[in-house]
Chains A and B, each alone.
Chain A
């Protein structure tokens, strides 16, 4: 019986290793500096993935700008202002957990129904007289949709780090006559800085890998130019993998590109996760 439990661990880890090895073997010959910095060519059968990398980077930046402040402030509320047993705090916490459970495709639907149709449609009606500018998929709506998805990641991470700020520091600050807000600004937030960073990195890693929310809120199959305004569509790594492996003209021919793109995405998310884990363990050791 004990063997069965050990075997399960071995099976799971073996599958992880096989996945990593297969993807690395499949992609290692294609990856090069040129692959990362050139546009796809010949109907996406040759060339690189630069626009996908660029689009992903741009999206996660806009996403972070939206998600991190809101996430950090929510975490501040939960740790500093809310009474832990109050129903408001409990409701907020339940909402955060629910948000982290909502299927990613639902965020996509929400982005379509709310951002594109409702907000975008409203903006177009008022400012551009019915001309279609914002009421269609673009990088802004995709990033905001993704921000909703990654909000819980930021909240949980920042909350943890704020709770780790020693009570003594707070008490000392208050005893010296600082107000609550001053204490938060000068003591709590600096103490939680690494947690905010960890949360941001984890959110970026999650956002870079998710595809379902951007399927119909902004990701494009192929674009000849990079997005240069918030109302442009964009290419993304994850969407590139999906589209290349299911709908490209010649799947076998582009297989190396698919593997290489997958490898780039994996490397990206793993590096980010690794940095986040390092930061977090340093934070824990510091206490």
Chain B
């Protein structure tokens, strides 16, 4: 900063160092009035403050690095093959509602990959999903059978890369299997459904707010939509679980009450505010000369909005959608509560799904510290972290690089 440059000459002109900070003026030898000594004169308090502040500022960088290191560190046993062999099945505490009798049964019978691989479907049975147990069981049963042979290698206590690519996620069983594929499919499904709802709604709403709404209306719309960002995700999850799930079931008449669709729509609610806010900011930043030129050429208001404002803001909108995807990817509570949490591979939006983040949230509390399951959950965490980091970095540099040159460089 230039503040230092402004203070120094002043001191030199006055010929006498400013007396301040009682503690710092104690050494008599310091008052020699030459430029040389004045340059070297370092007030301890100033020096100290600057160093401390700079040091603390590095903390945020350190935290990011530490997060990566420590989340990754816990996954290392997988790669070194030193993971503790699981000796007993971790007790499953998390089932208490009406169906628990049946679920518990299923969990006990858990025969790997054979006719009854019901574990993933029943383990996290949440409220209301009771009726679906049978169906889920059947579906995951098929998946289990078809992938049985492929999974052979990864089925043991040691996790191999091939095992991680498997199609069955069944960490709590006699022969635990850690196929991440169903979780990845589940996450992608939720993300696609959520973004299909959130992106158009949020972008159109932002366009309305930036291009059509009069000033007074914009000042209502913006804070109103930002209220949504203030909803704790557990509240959105609760709403989806209790209200939305029942409503959609009546509306569409599907079987599984908690499914990817419900989770996706609820997730859209979480993604809308971030997409809206970023898009709106970018659209208001489009230079008014663009719009004026378009209007002067005889284009109507909506033509200007759709063919001038929207394209000009495109890179920013892209970044907004990326940020929205990042939000959806990492969100845990909503999916944990509203998607049914069955690790199936299916393309139907009306089947239960289990996402990467929900898997961590649901299972981490019950694993034995240091065993394979624990490490695999941390591996999932590492994947999530790396992915959101990449998304964020892409959004950031894309916006910086493209948008700023487009909007500022050329105007």
Which residues of A come within 8 Å of B, CB atoms?
1-2, 4-9, 11-13, 15-16, 19, 22-23, 70, 73-74, 76-78, 80-83, 91-92, 94-99, 101-110, 112-114, 117-118, 148, 151-152, 155, 170-171, 174-175, 177-184, 205, 208-212, 215-216, 238-239, 241-242, 245-251, 255, 258, 262, 265-266, 269-270, 273, 277
Q: Does B73 contact A (CB under 8 A)?
A: yes
* Given A242-B337, A269-B230, CB of A180 within 8 Å of CB of B272: no
Closest 4 CB pairs of A and B: A103-B330, A209-B232, A77-B57, A5-B208
Contact between chains at A251 and B127 (CB < 8 Å) = yes
Interface residues of B in 313-329 (CB under 8 A from A): 323, 326, 329
User: CA of A112 to CA of B326 in the docked complex: distance in angstroms?
Assistant: 22
User: CA of A142 to CA of B179 in the docked complex: distance in angstroms?
Assistant: 30
Interface residues on B, range: 35 or more
List, sorted by A's number, 11 A–B pairs whose CB atoms are closer than 8 Å: A2-B212, A7-B204, A9-B225, A12-B276, A101-B323, A104-B233, A105-B384, A109-B74, A212-B357, A248-B96, A248-B97
User: CA of A242 to CA of B238 in the docked complex: distance in angstroms?
Assistant: 7
* Given A266-B235, A270-B230, CB of A92 within 8 Å of CB of B97: no
Which of B221, B330, B365 interacts with A104 by CB under 8 Å? B330
* Given A95-B64, A99-B60, A105-B330, CB of A211 within 8 Å of CB of B74: no
User: CA of A244 to CA of B157 in the docked complex: distance in angstroms?
Assistant: 35
Q: Does B84 contact A (CB under 8 A)?
A: no
- Count: A-B pairs, CB below 8 Å: 283
User: CA of A13 to CA of B225 in the docked complex: distance in angstroms?
Assistant: 7
* Given A76-B53, A210-B232, A245-B337, CB of A103 within 8 Å of CB of B357: yes
Contacts of A258 in B (CB 8 A): 238, 242
Contacts of A77 in B (CB 8 A): 53-54, 56-57
CB distance from A206 to the nearest CB of B (A): 8
User: CA of A239 to CA of B235 in the docked complex: distance in angstroms?
Assistant: 11
Contact between chains at A114 and B94 (CB < 8 Å) = no
CB distance from B39 to the nearest CB of A (A): 15
Contacts of B211 in A (CB 8 A): 5
Contacts of A270 in B (CB 8 A): 227, 230
The chain B residue with its CB closest to the CB of A76 is: B53
Known: A211-B333, A241-B235. 4 other contacts (CB 8 A): A12-B205, A97-B392, A106-B385, A249-B96
CB distance from A60 to the nearest CB of B (A): 13
* Given A77-B53, A216-B365, CB of A106 within 8 Å of CB of B71: yes
* Given A170-B3, A211-B232, A255-B242, CB of A92 within 8 Å of CB of B18: no
Contact between chains at B238 and A103 (CB < 8 Å) = no
Contact between chains at A6 and B212 (CB < 8 Å) = yes
CB distance from B16 to the nearest CB of A (A): 10
Contact between chains at A101 and B61 (CB < 8 Å) = no
Contacts of B54 in A (CB 8 A): 77, 81
The chain B residue with its CB closest to the CB of A155 is: B60
Q: Does B293 contact A (CB under 8 A)?
A: no
* Given A103-B329, A103-B330, A179-B20, CB of A8 within 8 Å of CB of B239: no
Which of A5, A95, A175, A241 interacts with B60 by CB under 8 Å? A95
Contact between chains at B10 and A103 (CB < 8 Å) = no
Per-residue CB contact flags for chain B residues 99-130 toward chain A (1 = under 8 Å, else 0) read 00000000000000000000000000011100
The chain A residue with its CB closest to the CB of B74 is: A113
Which of B234, B329, B331, B364 interacts with A209 by CB under 8 Å? B234
Contacts of A113 in B (CB 8 A): 70-71, 73-74, 378
CB distance from A181 to the nearest CB of B (A): 4
User: CA of A210 to CA of B327 in the docked complex: distance in angstroms?
Assistant: 14
The chain A residue with its CB closest to the CB of B370 is: A117
Contact between chains at A118 and B70 (CB < 8 Å) = yes
User: CA of A249 to CA of B96 in the docked complex: distance in angstroms?
Assistant: 5
Contact between chains at B7 and A99 (CB < 8 Å) = no
Q: Which of B225, B232, B306 has the most CB of A within 10 A?
A: B232
Contact between chains at B331 and A110 (CB < 8 Å) = no
Contacts of A108 in B (CB 8 A): 360-361, 364
User: CA of A242 to CA of B235 in the docked complex: distance in angstroms?
Assistant: 9
Contact between chains at B200 and A8 (CB < 8 Å) = yes
* Given A12-B228, A209-B234, A269-B230, CB of A103 within 8 Å of CB of B364: no
User: CA of A155 to CA of B330 in the docked complex: distance in angstroms?
Assistant: 22
Which of B64, B94, B201 interacts with A247 by CB under 8 Å? B94
Contact between chains at A216 and B389 (CB < 8 Å) = no
User: CA of A260 to CA of B138 in the docked complex: distance in angstroms?
Assistant: 38
Which of A5, A106, A174 interacts with B67 by CB under 8 Å? A106
Contact between chains at A95 and B63 (CB < 8 Å) = yes
Q: Does B154 contact A (CB under 8 A)?
A: no
Contacts of A209 in B (CB 8 A): 231-235
CB distance from B180 to the nearest CB of A (A): 16
Interface residues of B in 325-382 (CB under 8 A from A): 326, 329-333, 336-337, 357, 360-361, 364-365, 369, 377-378, 381
User: CA of A79 to CA of B237 in the docked complex: distance in angstroms?
Assistant: 38
The chain A residue with its CB closest to the CB of B323 is: A101
* Given A5-B204, A5-B205, A19-B231, CB of A74 within 8 Å of CB of B59: yes
